[in-house]
Structure 1
Amino acid sequence: MKVAIRQMALLNVLNPCHFFAKYTPTMCFHCDVRYTYVVIGGLGGVDLELSDWLVLKGARKLVLSSRSGIQTGYQQQRIHIWTSYGVEVKISMKNVTTERGCEDLINEATELGPIDAIFNLAVVLTDALFGDQTQETFETSFAPKARATLYLDRVTRKLCPKLRYFVIFSSLSCGRGNPGQSNYQILLWNEYVRTETEKDYQLWLFNGAQSVGLAAKMQKENKELAFGGIVQQKISSCLEVLDVLLNHNYPVVSSMVVAEKQQKNNILSAVETVAYVLGIKDLKKISHTTTFGELGMDSMMGVEIVQLLEKDFGIYLTSRDARNLTFAKLAEMEEGKMNKFAEVLDKKTEEGENLFIQYIPNRETVHLPAVKLNSHIDSDLEAPIVFVLPGVESIFKPLEYLTNTLKAHVVGVQYSYDNPEDSIKEIAQNTLPHIENYLSRDSSFYIIGYSFGTLVALEMISLLEEKGYTGILILIDSSPAYSSSSLKKHFAHETDAQFQTAVLMKICTLLIPLDVVSQYEEMLKCKNFEERIDLLLSLIPLKIRNEVNLEKQACIALYNRCKAVFDYTFENKKIQSSTHLFKAKYPMVDEADDYQLSEVSDNVAQVTAIDGDHVTILKSPGLVKAVSKIVVLKQ
């Protein structure tokens, strides 16, 4: 080959000169072809990317630990590509949550060659707020990460003398904190493993790889997921950073990408901001009275919503409050119509997401139509009789704080469980004979109705007045108009199928966290109510069903009672008995001052506002004091 150089070019040739400069060499991670590299949870999205990176770094012996083995064509394809490079790949299905399983895994990997590095990327999430966590959910989340790391540390000390790297991957949300993942928090299992092993290992935190991994699965319609002011990091960036961090001696390292601050003029309202986080494009297509939890808000979204509302709009909530919030309430808060709403939410109890339904009715709590309840007086002393009609669940537990302090003989009225009535009037008629067994013409009595029980109380005292009895009616935060409005808000529907589905979904959300939106559509497709109940029971783990005694009959009873409220109209003569209404200071729905009791009573109801909401009013000392005062004065 000949090379021709133009003469003009020769004139521009420069003589060489000596030049010295100082450069700091960058340490990079390299694999040794003689050694084995173990990846725990090795067939997930991030795991496969890490394994591919190890191969590019020179690894020729890979052991991927996965309990489920190869399940997709993509996994098979990646392994095929690596083997074409001359890489030995072994899929181990050993149980790394036990010490024996870890020992078997290490022995299996050592057959290929000495182990140079172990990467634990296993993860099992069981998201729930701390109050809803159980020992089982903690164990489930701890096992593949904390216990596996502990056992691997013990085993590798004995069997892997040449081990250079012991790396545990985790989510940056754990280091920063997430109310929905307390069982996965770094402060729990990292300290646990450290205490047990007394050995520094490298823990790498990153904020979710884009396109692969659990965080990527949470993306909706390619919307960039932001959490705590950070966004997902591209997997290529994660691996570039890992290349550098593996050469540091720090036991805990992290990598994150800070989210760009959104311009204020791009945020039109708090409602639109929350809709963006939830992935809702058209607010007209959803009910504004549906809670964010029912719209599919998970724990990470909850944290982001709470932070955005606090930072950009001055609205202060907890994660639990955010789950119970609706777009309608959020709009009112933003407009300043409910400036005390945040204070109210702080006072909410943990007795259920829905204020109308708090418990699941069960056969064990229903024995007789009328039962004696504990009170603040001996059973052999003379005292007035108080009949208590509970909420829609027919459970007296929420009322114990009140009934235990009354200086009266308290009788609890229970609604039929095995043969639930179809109307409020039927419930009152069937219960009336059992109530009359406790009455005499010359003795005073009181009827206390709470929530659903106020409707039964109105029907019952109307029937008693027809028989010549006179008593005192005490209603706690409800009336026919108020109950109807509340149910229309919580169970908005146009067909029976929608109503049945809404009631069953409320039962489900009391027991487990779930994607209500998707399950609602599935349940709506069922042919009849019985199929919908079967689907509900299949969604709830058997252990939880047994703990709350949830069975098909409980669903039927609860549905019948809710439907009875929708169908109820007071058609009797107006009540003559003295009526007292104790209303919550923070109601579920806006209603007239007397909850429209003037429509059913000739006497003007004495209305008293008690601090609290529909649930916490029962624990209010103000309610106890006021009711006790009425009972004492009328003895």
Structure 2
Amino acid sequence: MYADKREPQRNVISMNNAMDALEQALASQKKFILVHQSNAPRKTMLEEIMSLADIDSENLSQASHQDVRLKELNMDDQKLLAIQGFLRDVYEICLNIEDVQNLTVKAIIELESQCVDSNFEENHGIASYFPALYSDELLYTTDMFSLPTLASSATHNTIDMSKPYLCIVPGVEGYYGRFTELCKRLKLPAIALQPGLDHPKETFKELASRYINALEKKSALHNNFYLLGYERGVLIALEMVAILESKGLTGTVFCVGGTPTEVVEDFRNNLKDYKNKEHLQMAVLKHAYSLATKEDPSVLDSLPKNLDWPNKLVECMDRMRGKFQYSIEYTKKWINYLYTQLSSSLENTYEMKKMNSQIISLRPKYITSIDTSLENCSNKKIITYQLESSLPTTHLNMKCATIINSHLDRAILEIYNHRNICHTYSLSNDDVTAD
């Protein structure tokens, strides 16, 4: 298989397209395959099926033809078999010939909507850091949460912390749920640390120290540790490394977000539309109002002017009263936490410390050039991976799990390869997620 080198660099195919091309090439009977970037728009499932049937799809897509079945189009068996194979090979939909014949135009359109996530929208501004207000107050305020991975059963809420595990330090959101998809592909157990809502003004050092103390209580500090910091969690994870190394421990830290300088700069770029703290405060209140009530937050435009933040928060809560399902205390704490974290993230800087642990940078797609400040932070060579996704969606990039697995110790991979694949179940009521 050859890539067309005559194409300019900007038209180089993506990794996903390259893998698709490789799979099709291996399945074909041809000796040589030429792969090139196509500028043609992607066909819908309906268009592909109508193309296989030699039928014009434009007329069928009209509302008056939505209930037309394929068997009414007088297709021969060969075309029906081609459509059956297309659905199986491309969309992994297995139907018998009778079901294929009974497919309507409307059913085909609905099938595609279920198979292809076409409504994905990347959040911006405050929503990229706080996309939701989570209803489970206890889970949001739990200091430690174990996540299901390939190496630990999803039905068991506790892990053996005397063995190697990945410790995840979340970003400004402070919630474990962002990492569930990433962890599903990891080859070692994982836990997520959560800051809770009761310490909104603590510094990175103070939060790192609190995390270390929580791990120490569970006798979970070991040499050759694995830490992962996401977004602002990169700064906190590096502080944790400094504390751990002062105790004589070293390990590996994955910086999902790049360098501290890049993370802080991303905050500033993402929130640059808020010219001062008053603008940021109103934006936070409106964002929280819309998440909690699902209503238009413009009602907050009539808030009295010149109020300080605590009084603005009280006024906002009064206007939200009776419109949301969460407890008043939890919602108020969450909104205050949201504003405090965002405002401090705009002001904070990070002082680089020399360390002996291995730093692996998973750099999202930034508009700026690569920052090399981490080179002065470690005695070991920094390993950097350039990702194609932006920071708010990096946790959904499956390449992250592959990178993490590739840097695990051989002994951990041996344990994974020889693991018991039977599901385990907790029989004791004493097993809990965290203290």
Equivalence for 1:85: none
Matched, 1:401 2:178: no
Deviation at 1:350, TM superposition (A): 6.4
1:199-598 aligned within 5 A: 348-349=120-121, 354-360=127-133, 363-378=137-152, 379=159, 383-437=163-217, 443-492=223-272, 493=274, 495-508=276-289, 510=291, 512=294, 514=296, 519=300, 522=302, 525-538=305-318, 540=320, 542-544=322-324, 546=326, 551-571=331-351, 573-584=353-364, 586-587=365-366, 590-594=367-371, 596-598=373-375
Deviations 1:342-384 (A, max 9, x none): xxxx785466773233233673223442232222224469742
Structure 1: gaps spanning 5 or more residues: 1-190, 192-345
Say if 1:495 and 1:386 are closer, same or farther in 2 by CA, change over 3 A.
Answer: same
Equivalence for 1:615: 392
Counterparts of 1:398 and 1:529 in 2: how far apart (Å)? 29
Say if 1:498 and 1:350 are closer, same or farther in 2 by CA, change over 3 A.
Answer: closer
Deviation at 1:614, TM superposition (A): 2.1
Q: Is the 8 A contact 1:348 1:616 kept in 2?
A: no
Say if 1:629 and 1:547 are closer, same or farther in 2 by CA, change over 3 A.
Answer: farther
Deviation at 1:441, TM superposition (A): 7.2
Task: Provide the secondary structure at the position in 2 that maps to 1:631.
Answer: coil
Equivalence for 1:631: 408
Deviation at 1:536, TM superposition (A): 3.5
Deviation at 1:449, TM superposition (A): 0.9
Q: CA RMSD in A?
A: 3.6
Structure 2: gaps spanning 5 or more residues: 1-63, 65-117, 153-158, 413-435
Q: Is the 8 A contact 2:151 2:186 kept in 1?
A: yes
1:43-192 aligned within 5 A: none
Residue 498 of structure 1 aligns with an amino acid whose one-letter code is H
Task: Provide the secondary structure at the position in 2 that maps to 1:546.
Answer: coil
Counterparts of 1:634 and 1:349 in 2: how far apart (Å)? 40
Deviation at 1:552, TM superposition (A): 0.7
Equivalence for 1:233: none
Deviation at 1:553, TM superposition (A): 0.4
Which entry has the higher C-alpha Rg, 1 or 2?
1
Deviation at 1:414, TM superposition (A): 0.9
Equivalence for 1:300: none
Say if 1:441 and 1:350 are closer, same or farther in 2 by CA, change over 3 A.
Answer: closer
Deviation at 1:548, TM superposition (A): 11
TM-score by length of 1: 0.40
Q: Is the 8 A contact 2:161 2:220 kept in 1?
A: no
Task: Provide the secondary structure at the position in 2 that maps to 1:551.
Answer: helix
Residue 503 of structure 1 aligns with an amino acid whose one-letter code is V
Task: Provide the secondary structure at the position in 2 that maps to 1:579.
Answer: strand
Deviation at 1:513, TM superposition (A): 6.3
Counterparts of 2:372 and 2:318 in 1: how far apart (Å)? 40
Q: Which has the higher contact order (CA 8 A, sep 6+)?
A: 2
Task: Provide the secondary structure at the position in 2 that maps to 1:581.
Answer: strand
1:601-612 aligned within 5 A: 601-612=378-389
Counterparts of 1:452 and 1:359 in 2: how far apart (Å)? 18
Task: Provide the secondary structure at the position in 1 that maps to 2:326.
Answer: helix
TM-score by length of 2: 0.57
Counterparts of 1:627 and 1:478 in 2: how far apart (Å)? 15
Q: Is the 8 A contact 2:145 2:193 kept in 1?
A: yes
Counterparts of 1:446 and 1:569 in 2: how far apart (Å)? 24
Structure number having the greater strand percentage: 1
What is the aligned residue count?
A: 288
Counterparts of 2:244 and 2:164 in 1: how far apart (Å)? 17
Residue 435 of structure 1 aligns with an amino acid whose one-letter code is L
Residue 471 of structure 1 aligns with an amino acid whose one-letter code is G
